[in-house]
Chain A
Amino acid sequence: MKTSKQLKVLVQTTFAAAVAIVMIGGLASTTLFSAETDTNAVPSKTDSAVSQTNSAAVKAKAPAAEKPVLKHQLTGAELYSMHCNRCHPERYPTERTAAQWKTIMLHMQVRANIPGDQARLILQYLQDNSGR
């Protein structure tokens, strides 16, 4: 009897946690990103080209009658600041060579569950500014 009650409590706790995650995630995504994203970050050498290309593509696709919507493509520098500070003090791009960053980023992509496209942008930023 006691066991079944405890099991019920565990299930309820897990369910409540899952609901809380969904609610908080949904709330965060709707309130924090509906109007604005960060515009202060400095784009890296590589990312600026990507941003320009994407902006041009969006402009080209937008109907003439509608106001063009400019999507902000996160740069490698921004993603680096978002992900790498989650677990450890900042490591500077110049601390490693381009080849070393490739190995380290593969390790971090796995360890921190960084999506592949974001990992590539971070790697490009690190390699562009690496210690060669």
Chain B
Amino acid sequence: MNKTMKTRCGILRLMMAGCVIGLALPSRVAAEVSDADFNALKETVQKLGEQVQNLQQSNIVQRQTHAQDLLQIQQLQQKLTETQQIATNAEQKSIEASMTQPMPRQPIDEATVNHNFMMLGDAEFQYAKIAGQHGAFLQADFAPIFLYRGGDNILFEAGFDTTLANNAPGSSGYTTTFNLSFAQLDYVMNDYMTFAGGELILPLGTYTERGAGWLNKIPDNPLAVDALLPGTGLGVEMRGGIPVGDTGQSLNYEVYVVNGPGSSDTTGTSGSAGNLDLGGNVGVLSDGSTVANLHGHPSGGARLGYFVPFKPHYDLELGVSGQSGEWDDAGNHLWSAGVLDAALHLGPAFEAKGEYIVTRYGSDDIGTHYQQGWFVQAGYKLAGLDLELPIINNLEIVGRYDSLHDVYDPADNAFDIKTRRYTVGYVYYFTNTLLFEGDYEFLNSNDPSQADQFILQLSLGF
């Protein structure tokens, strides 16, 4: 074994010696080239190497550029294909359009692209205690107003009102009634004139238009407004405001034609005084058999008002309004009304307003008679005292005086009801739209159904 190893080591030594001799011989041959030549050759080789490297880099850049060019070409080809497709489709559509009948174009006034639907309104519930009766949670009222604006000049507005009533005596449960308060289509013709048609809130005074729910600071309406005037009428109206000068004054007007009051005709004699129906003449009888005004001619009415703002929150508004027309089926008697209204604001804290109402109507049985009534109410927000007390600052003190004279009394078929009412109360503003109202009403009347009462009401305007 050792002998074999020695033999191998000897062979390896001989091979190494051969290699050394082999390497030494060429160096001796190289030694025949001068150093200058060698360096020149070396420099040339280095330059060639650098050039090769530069060529490789430029080749890489050119390849990338080429790839980008190819991508752009592909994109352009794709766009060209799409454009050709669009052009083809457009051509087909134009051909199809040319084959259809042309439609007459109506003025749309951006109605199809610029409209808005909204719901406003109010909700209330009351607790009332009438003298001589049990107190009760009296009313849960929801009165939405729906607005639909079709363009800049067209508005449809409709208001509804729910009422609850016991079926007792005689039946169980209660009845919910959902009434249409008003529904009108308004077309603003220009800055000073608007046409309205439908079930209109009549501008006899201003209370009817401005006294809904939470707008009024006392839970119930003035006696004269409820007893003497129709709230709405079915017809058409022109209205608007004309500025006077540049200080904000304006002349306000409403002119309207409506079916007018009719006769309930419960006794078979439509002209009897007790048959006057202020709001029922809507053109269609309850059985649907008759579509007509109950009498021959519509009623006409108008209001003219003048608004004088002294400065923001200080203003005075005065108005005079009236309506006249037939009311009985035979058209023998006129029902007419005249109203004077006034409203005054002296700062953000004080408001006073009132109306004087007189009506006149003829009848078959008891001739012609006048009824009249008026009210004046005022409110003062205690925030005007600058007491910086949170609860006091949210409180408003209100008061009203009502008077109603010579009102028709069905009990004796005569115009002999006289009522005076004094109301004191408050409004507490939880927010600008959530109001907690309370009042006490002192009544003095020859109508035995009238009595003092205490009312609390929570109102929400939205």
**Contacts from A to B (Cβ < 8 Å):** 3, 6-7, 10, 13-14, 17-18, 20-21, 24-25, 28-29, 32-33, 37-38, 40-41, 71-74, 78-79, 81-82, 85-92, 99-100, 102-104, 106-107, 109-118
Contact B308 A116 (CB under 8 A): no
Q: Is B322 located at the chain interface by the 8 A CB criterion?
A: yes
The A-contacting residues of B in range 305-320, CB under 8 angstroms, are 305-313, 315-320
Enumerate chain A residues within 8 angstroms of B254, measured Cβ to Cβ: 113
Q: Is B370 located at the chain interface by the 8 A CB criterion?
A: yes
Contact B155 A117 (CB under 8 A): no
Candidates A13, A28, A81, A114; contact of B358 at CB < 8 Å: A13
Contact A86 B215 (CB under 8 A): no
For A39, give the chain B residue with the smallest CB separation: B311
Candidates B192, B304, B343, B345; contact of A115 at CB < 8 Å: B192
Contact A116 B190 (CB under 8 A): yes
Enumerate chain B residues within 8 angstroms of A116, measured Cβ to Cβ: 188, 190-192
Q: Is B329 located at the chain interface by the 8 A CB criterion?
A: no
Enumerate chain A residues within 8 angstroms of B317, measured Cβ to Cβ: 86
State which of B87-95, B234-242, B281-289 sits at the interface with chain A.
B234-242
Asked if A37 meets B358 with Cβ closer than 8 Å, knowing A89-B433, A106-B188, A117-B191, the reply is no
Enumerate chain B residues within 8 angstroms of A79, measured Cβ to Cβ: 248
Q: How far is the CB of B184 from chain A (nearest CB, A)?
A: 9
Q: How far is the CB of B314 from chain A (nearest CB, A)?
A: 9
Contact B157 A74 (CB under 8 A): no
Enumerate chain B residues within 8 angstroms of A106, measured Cβ to Cβ: 147, 149, 152-153, 155, 186, 188
**Contacts from B to A (Cβ < 8 Å):** 116-118, 120, 147, 149, 152-153, 155, 157, 186, 188, 190-192, 194, 196, 209-210, 214-215, 239-250, 252-254, 304-313, 315-320, 322, 336, 338, 340, 343, 345, 348, 358, 360, 367-368, 370, 429, 432-433, 435, 461
Contact A92 B432 (CB under 8 A): yes
Contact A14 B149 (CB under 8 A): no
Enumerate chain A residues within 8 angstroms of B310, measured Cβ to Cβ: 28, 32, 38
Q: How far is the CB of A109 from chain B (nearest CB, A)?
A: 7
Contact B245 A33 (CB under 8 A): yes
Q: How many A-B residue pairs have CB under 8 A?
A: 156
CA distance A102 to B210 in the complex (A): 20
Q: How far is the CB of B20 from chain A (nearest CB, A)?
A: 95
Question: Can you list 18 A-B contacts (CB < 8 A)?
Answer: A3-B367, A17-B320, A18-B304, A25-B308, A28-B316, A32-B308, A41-B311, A74-B246, A82-B248, A85-B348, A103-B117, A113-B239, A113-B240, A113-B241, A113-B253, A113-B305, A116-B188, A116-B190
CA distance A71 to B358 in the complex (A): 43
Q: DSSP majority for the B interface?
A: strand
Enumerate chain A residues within 8 angstroms of B214, measured Cβ to Cβ: 88
CA distance A90 to B190 in the complex (A): 27
Enumerate chain A residues within 8 angstroms of B241, measured Cβ to Cβ: 112-115, 118
Enumerate chain B residues within 8 angstroms of A102, measured Cβ to Cβ: 116, 149
6 extra interface residue pairs, beta carbon distance < 8 Å, beyond A109-B188, A115-B250, A117-B191? A41-B312, A99-B116, A100-B116, A110-B188, A113-B239, A118-B243
For B250, give the chain A residue with the smallest CB separation: A115
Q: How far is the CB of A101 from chain B (nearest CB, A)?
A: 10
Contact B248 A118 (CB under 8 A): yes
Contact A3 B315 (CB under 8 A): no
Contact B147 A115 (CB under 8 A): no
Contact B345 A86 (CB under 8 A): yes
Q: How far is the CB of B446 from chain A (nearest CB, A)?
A: 22
Contact B360 A6 (CB under 8 A): yes
Contact B243 A115 (CB under 8 A): yes
Enumerate chain B residues within 8 angstroms of A103, measured Cβ to Cβ: 116-118, 147, 149, 155
Q: How far is the CB of A40 from chain B (nearest CB, A)?
A: 8
Asked if A107 meets B147 with Cβ closer than 8 Å, knowing A86-B345, A89-B429, the reply is yes
Enumerate chain B residues within 8 angstroms of A89, measured Cβ to Cβ: 429, 432-433, 435, 461
Enumerate chain B residues within 8 angstroms of A113, measured Cβ to Cβ: 239-241, 250, 252-254, 305
For B339, give the chain A residue with the smallest CB separation: A17
Contact B312 A115 (CB under 8 A): no
Most buried by A among B152, B250, B319: B250
4 closest A-B pairs by beta carbon, nearest first, are A116-B191, A81-B312, A38-B311, A113-B241
CA distance A90 to B118 in the complex (A): 19
